[in-house]
Structure 1
Amino acid sequence: MSYTRRLWLSFWPAALAVGALTVLIILQSNHDDQRVVTAVLGPLVGWSFIAAGLVAWSRRPANHTGRLMVALGFAWALTALTEANDKWIYSTGLAVEAIFLAVFIHLVVSFPTGRLSSRLERTIVFGAYGVAVFANALSVLVDPTPIPDCKGCPPNAFLLAPSDAAATAVQVAADVCGIAIAAAVVTLLVRRWRRATPAGRRVLSPIYLSGGATMILLGIAFAVDPWAGGFAGLLKLLASLAFISVPYFFLAGLMRARLARAGVGRLFVDVPENPSPEELHAAFRRALHDPTIRLAHWLPERRLYVDLEGWPFDEVEAGRTLTPVEYEGRRVGALIHDPSLLEEPELLEAAVASARIGLEKDRLQAELRARLIELEREQDFVRTVVDTAPALFCVVDTEGNVMRFNATLSRLSGLPDDDSGRGEPFTKLFLPSEDAASFHLALAAADGEEFESEWLGAGGGRRIVAWSVMPIVDAQGRPRRLISGVDVTERRRQEARTRALLDAMPDLMFRMTREGVYVDYHAHDEVELVSSEVIGRSVYDRLPRPVAEQALAAARRALDEGGVQTHEYSLEVRGVERQYEARVVASAADEVVSIVREITDRKEQEHEVRKSRARIVQAADAERRRLERNLHDGAQQRLVSLSLALRLAEARIPDRLEGAKQILTEAQQELAQALAELRELARGIHPAILTDRGLAAAVEALAARAPLPVEVAAMPDERLPDAVEAAAYYVVAEGLTNVAKYADASYVRVTVERRNGVASVEVADDGIGGADPRAGTGLRGLADRIEALGGRLEVESPATGGTRLWAQMPVG
């Protein structure tokens, strides 16, 4: 049994039964004044939708439009329940009578595919179902007279809370929603129609004309119903007539597609036996009513489509659909058409069948045309490449006479590629006379060997060209020679300028890879090289291993981190120890350039400066010690003796000379004050305790005199050099002074250590922090003293609190 037969046997008996039941209910109705008309039209409308739907369903099973029309026919039958005399059937009919409108809106919105493809479409349809179900269901719960002026209607069996106000509110809300839905549907249909192609409008017109008219009339009827009930009734009658016409318009559309299919079958009757591409396209456009349709041949060996004139295309333009055409199981071409033709599969299949004949018949000619077009395009492409390439091309015969040359050579020489130069010797047009002999040797060999010489340029100038000669064969199979070259004049000039610049630089330059292999170098004097063999060698082959690892690490940092990477090293060259500085920068993805400069003289000068500064510091410290010793042994001792003498004199003065005693007492006090100040001055010049007892005792003395707790955390066990001890002492003294003055600290820790030939001094507090080491002169003087010893001084004082004064000096 065929699919169509099963479909009709499944639904049509049910449709007949539902129609018969509808007729029975209507004819027995006590409240319908036109029972016969209603009994005829009611089943007829439902059967029309169901029949049209079954026809569409059987012919296009994948399309849901047929299913929706069948559902609409059965939903229409529910409206007959309002003709029943039984109150329960009557009330049920009132609750479900609007469902057919929701199905109808679903049909119109989803046409022609039967599917809802956008969010707006789904919103409209779901809203229609919601209003159809809930508005009538709410109305029967509160409206005591759902059908006004109905004199024989049964009572509302579902009435729960009679309220005219509530019923009116529900009715107004339903009308507003109906107006909104109708307006949305009409807007959607208008927008689709405006965007549709002519072929698309042909598919849409059967439903859009009748369905659109129905929605417009219903929308107006809903709008005027509260104010003009009579006029609204007329509009609803007109809407009903438009609604009844929908299945007939749909069947007319199917019939039109069937007639169009027959027209496609006679397509080749109206075209010549050997039609042109335009004539064939015109015939298909008339038959399918698609003014944009195109036919294409399939070339299997090239795996692409070409049009009827042989031009290939890789993809279908937007808004078009490609339907393959097959012949005996193999692809022969395609139809590129409007997507709306997919909704008329019979018409499209007929078009494919007709196209199959024509495409297979014209296949060989299409392949030939495509090949010719391809050859022409390749020829044009080669000509364009030759004329726009920066290389120079000239074709000559075996004697060296010019046949053709490209635009680049024409611009270089100032000569046009025309008959005035063709047949002339190449040497006459492009080469100086002194190079003619070497040119003929290259022409005879024609082995691709590269030469470099001067060519004649435009305006009488000369250009440097790197060129070669290769044998070729022309289209007629005759031997020819292709002279190809590149103008390297600017490159050679730039190389000369670069070479002159490099020769003027005293530095060594190396170019090497990430792995440390040298690929190029420049040396002002080969004597400066550690080894004369450079290119192809590794850094490990030319340099001591520590220096090689240092160079390789700098190269990798330059490649990975960017910027200029610097490192210093020493080498023994020709028996002399030399100092070098290398600056490394990336020059390519995996290559670096290293510029190496000898800094032996600079290092020696820096060393002499450091030694000179150290001698100055040592001399200053020695002078300080001498002054402190002279004060201690000279003026300080005399003042002590004078103080003792004054005490003896005071003891011998009689008690009656109280005035003289008072004078001596005051003189002793002044003398004690002067002695204390002298000792403080001597300690500031150079602390005697540092010289006599060492750094540890001197630091302990500083800690004892400090106005806050000081922890001496560590001190070296052995004595440090005098200059280092003096510098360490002054670091601690300056640090404690600054803590007492500015830090507002409660604790200070002093650490002096000697480790690995380096003495480090640290003064750390828990104060407020934020110290500026540039604000005073004391720290600057300390920094100079420590740097003179080859060390460095640092201050760390974050704003969050705490200050750390730190110094480091070599001790040998």
Structure 2
Amino acid sequence: MIRIVSLAVLAFLSGLGVICLIALSRQEAGAEAAMSAVLAVTVGWAYVGSGLLTWRHGRRRIGSILVFIGLAWFATYLAYSNDSFWFTLGTALEDVYLVGVMYLVLVFPHGRLSGRVDRALMAVGVVLGTVVELAWLVLADSGVVCADCPDNAVRIVSDHAWANGILQAQRGAALVVSVVAVVLFVRRIRLASTPVRRSLAPVLWTGGAFCVAMVVTIVNDVAGEPMGQAPNFMCGLVFAAIPVSILASMLRQRLARGAVAQLVVQLDGGPGGVDLRDALSRALGDPDLAVGYWLASTETYVDSRGRPFDPDDPEKASTLVQRNGRPVAVLVHDKALQDDRALVDSVCAAAGMALENERLRADLEARLVELRASRERLVRAAESERRRLERDLHDGAQQRLIAVAMSIALAEANLRANPVAAGAALDEARDGLARAMDELRTLSQGIRPAVLVERGLGAALAELARRSTVSATVDLRLRAAVPADIETAAYYVASEALTNTAKHAHASGVTIAAETHDGLLRLRVTDDGVGGAEARDGSGLRGLADRVEGFGGTLNIHSPAAGGTSLSVELPCV
């Protein structure tokens, strides 16, 4: 605040100093001097005033550039001094404010140059406005400026031809720079997104108009002023409009925040409801706005239909919306809105409750999407299992029983005529029946293991640990009864986890822990292997997750690279 006040005082004193210089100058008098003084003070204070207001409202870099242009404009009026030194200094600085204007238009609204062309253009402008201007002064007489001007304090040698050549070269280069700047402005507006175009338009149009006016003024000067002072007047008028366009841009942003009130009204239960994304899009002025909703259960974002949503877009910016310290949603919007954080924050605050409600709806949609996908996977898995059982029965036990039937028929045919052959056929039938029983027992183990039926989950997990090819330990704290279907689900989770450990983990040890607590069966299988396990679609773990979720349980996998794998399951026992 102290710095802003200091700059305001400096600008005020500078304006008074300019009035004094013009009033005492031998170069102008009467009405012409009064008009020059009014123009000087009005334009200079307009730039400094708009700069301080912009600075005050958080856009410090743009504000400082405007203040610099205003003070540089005041500095040009040192050329009205009757003293040689101050006259020469004012003449040397007469183009500095033009360099400031070009820099302002190139960096607006972000406050920084955005590319090589901008930087090259700016470098050429600085050289033209300082180095070339000083080179001209070293060779020029003060009479070139005006008849009553003081002596040029830095003139080393008077060479009108060289001085005029430098001046014409400066004008030609300035003409090229102005044309390139106009092309850049038009291209930037054409390529800009809607929020950027809305933000840039007031300044770019006035800046572009100023460059066009500069082109006309330069051509008029080179041609010997056939249009008189009209181009200079036009250039000064457009120059004075630039700070007004800055303030208009700020006012537009202020008015845009009124859209927040409209947003609140729209979200306050209007007839038929309102599309939240469309309402936010209108409030922020970004037709391409996208909204993702946070799901704490999976720590991912989804869209309003429950589908996966990726907030990382290199061409966009994102704003996280929180309520009570918890993430609710993310808005992916145009980068230009980062320059108006107050508007974005106001919209997020106004829509917080609606976003929370929409998040719950999106969470439900995501659960429905996952439920449908899980059901499809379960149906496919059940069909695949049915076909496997059918194939195993057909290729195994069924063939055995057919062979037994044929052996019995052969024994029956030979019973009287050849008792020895009949006995051999019966022996073969007996062996076939035994093998069929073994195969049927193996099949039944795949459906529900006998140890699980006869001795319960604890004994079945211990049996899995004994059969494991990886050294396994068991920690059992099963103090409450577990329903048979829950036991089966837990058994197959542990079995699949041990199988994956043996195949993929390269582990030296695995631990199976199971406990019942608060109506839940908690099962954890942990190994010290390489990690990296995922429950991808089509994998055994994905099928286990579907089975567990089908019983209202949850399955979580923590498997960092080189950190081992921990598979945790919670299943309701009531």
- Fold equivalence (TM over 0.5): yes
Correspondence for 2:513: none
Verify the 8 A CA contact 2:22 2:33 in the aligned structure 1: yes
Q: 1:60 aligns with which of 58, 61, 64?
A: 58
- The answer to whether structure 1 residue 82 and structure 2 residue 73 are counterparts is no
User: Residues 191 and 136 from structure 1, CA distance in 2 versus in 1: closer, same or farther, beyond 3 angstroms?
Assistant: same
Q: Deviation per CA, 1:564-584, whole angstroms, max 9, x where unpaired?
A: xxxxxxxxxxxxxxxxxxxxx
Correspondence for 2:386: 395
User: Residues 474 and 8 from structure 1, CA distance in 2 versus in 1: closer, same or farther, beyond 3 angstroms?
Assistant: same
Instruction: Decide which structure has greater strand share.
Output: 1
Deviates more, 1:14-23 or 1:119-128: 119-128
User: Residues 174 and 315 from structure 1, CA distance in 2 versus in 1: closer, same or farther, beyond 3 angstroms?
Assistant: same
Q: What amino acid maps onto 1:447 in structure 2?
A: Q
- The answer to whether structure 1 residue 180 and structure 2 residue 176 are counterparts is yes
Verify the 8 A CA contact 1:297 1:366 in the aligned structure 2: yes
Correspondence for 1:650: none
Q: Deviation per CA, 1:245-294, whole angstroms, max 9, x where unpaired?
A: 11111111111111111212330313462899971111122222110112
Correspondence for 2:150: 154
User: Residues 313 and 277 from structure 1, CA distance in 2 versus in 1: closer, same or farther, beyond 3 angstroms?
Assistant: farther
Query: How far apart are the structure 1 equivalents of 2:166 and 2:223?
Result: 16
Correspondence for 1:447: 445
User: Residues 8 and 359 from structure 1, CA distance in 2 versus in 1: closer, same or farther, beyond 3 angstroms?
Assistant: same
- The answer to whether structure 1 residue 29 and structure 2 residue 25 are counterparts is yes
Correspondence for 1:111: 108
Deviates more, 1:151-160 or 1:126-135: 151-160
- The answer to whether structure 1 residue 263 and structure 2 residue 259 are counterparts is yes
Q: Deviation per CA, 1:145-174, whole angstroms, max 9, x where unpaired?
A: 4645x3433343333211221121111110
- The answer to whether structure 1 residue 102 and structure 2 residue 93 are counterparts is no
The 5 A counterparts of 1:349-360 are 349-360=345-356
- The answer to whether structure 1 residue 320 and structure 2 residue 316 are counterparts is yes
Query: How far apart are the structure 2 equivalents of 1:317 and 1:31?
Result: 60
Q: 1:6 aligns with which of 2, 5, 12?
A: 2
Verify the 8 A CA contact 2:195 2:336 in the aligned structure 1: yes
- The answer to whether structure 1 residue 168 and structure 2 residue 159 are counterparts is no
The 5 A counterparts of 1:640-659 are none
User: Residues 51 and 112 from structure 1, CA distance in 2 versus in 1: closer, same or farther, beyond 3 angstroms?
Assistant: same
Q: What amino acid maps onto 1:49 in structure 2?
A: Y
Correspondence for 1:51: 49
Per-residue deviation at 1:427? 5.9
Higher relative contact order (CA 8 A, sep 6+): 2
Q: Is the partner of 2:446 in helix, strand or coil?
A: coil
Q: Is the partner of 2:386 in helix, strand or coil?
A: strand
Query: How far apart are the structure 1 equivalents of 2:273 and 2:336?
Result: 24
Correspondence for 2:477: none
Correspondence for 1:286: 282
Per-residue deviation at 1:91? 1.9
Correspondence for 1:215: 211
Q: Is the partner of 1:116 in helix, strand or coil?
A: coil
Verify the 8 A CA contact 1:142 1:163 in the aligned structure 2: yes
Query: How far apart are the structure 2 equivalents of 1:302 and 1:10?
Result: 55
Q: Deviation per CA, 1:397-416, whole angstroms, max 9, x where unpaired?
A: 9xx8x8xxxxxx9xxxxxxx
Per-residue deviation at 1:107? 1.0
Per-residue deviation at 1:129? 1.3
Verify the 8 A CA contact 2:50 2:247 in the aligned structure 1: yes
Verify the 8 A CA contact 1:305 1:313 in the aligned structure 2: yes
Verify the 8 A CA contact 1:325 1:355 in the aligned structure 2: no
The 5 A counterparts of 1:788-799 are none
Query: How far apart are the structure 1 equivalents of 2:436 and 2:25?
Result: 116
Per-residue deviation at 1:336? 0.9
Per-residue deviation at 1:318? 3.6
Larger gyration radius, structure 1 or structure 2: 1
Per-residue deviation at 1:440? 8.9
Query: How far apart are the structure 1 equivalents of 2:342 and 2:271?
Result: 25
Which 5+ residue runs of structure 2 have no aligned equivalent?
406-432, 448-483, 490-574
Correspondence for 1:38: 36
Per-residue deviation at 1:10? 2.3
Per-residue deviation at 1:431? 7.4
Q: Deviation per CA, 1:210-259, whole angstroms, max 9, x where unpaired?
A: 11111122133324431242337432321221111111111111111111
Structure 2 length normalisation: TM-score? Answer: 0.66
Q: 2:14 aligns with which of 6, 11, 18?
A: 18
The 5 A counterparts of 1:289-438 are 289-380=285-376, 393-395=384-386, 434=402
Q: Is the partner of 2:28 in helix, strand or coil?
A: coil
Correspondence for 2:232: 236
Correspondence for 2:518: none
Query: How far apart are the structure 2 equivalents of 1:439 and 1:370?
Result: 47
Instruction: Decide which structure has greater helix share.
Output: 2
Verify the 8 A CA contact 1:271 1:279 in the aligned structure 2: no
Verify the 8 A CA contact 1:90 1:154 in the aligned structure 2: yes
Equivalenced residues, count: 419
Verify the 8 A CA contact 1:182 1:215 in the aligned structure 2: yes
Verify the 8 A CA contact 2:203 2:245 in the aligned structure 1: yes
Q: What amino acid maps onto 2:402 in structure 1?
A: E
Among all aligned residue pairs of Structure 1 and Structure 2, give the percentage whose two residues are the same amino acid: 28
Verify the 8 A CA contact 1:109 1:121 in the aligned structure 2: yes
Per-residue deviation at 1:118? 2.6
Query: How far apart are the structure 2 equivalents of 1:380 and 1:22?
Result: 83
Structure 1 length normalisation: TM-score? Answer: 0.47
Which 5+ residue runs of structure 1 have no aligned equivalent?
403-408, 410-424, 450-472, 479-812
Verify the 8 A CA contact 2:267 2:354 in the aligned structure 1: no
- The answer to whether structure 1 residue 252 and structure 2 residue 248 are counterparts is yes
Query: How far apart are the structure 2 equivalents of 1:155 and 1:208?
Result: 40
Q: Is the partner of 1:64 in helix, strand or coil?
A: helix
Instruction: Give the aligned CA root-mean-square deviation in angstroms.
Output: 3.5
Q: What amino acid maps onto 1:255 in structure 2?
A: L
Query: How far apart are the structure 2 equivalents of 1:224 and 1:155?
Result: 27
Query: How far apart are the structure 1 equivalents of 2:347 and 2:191?
Result: 25
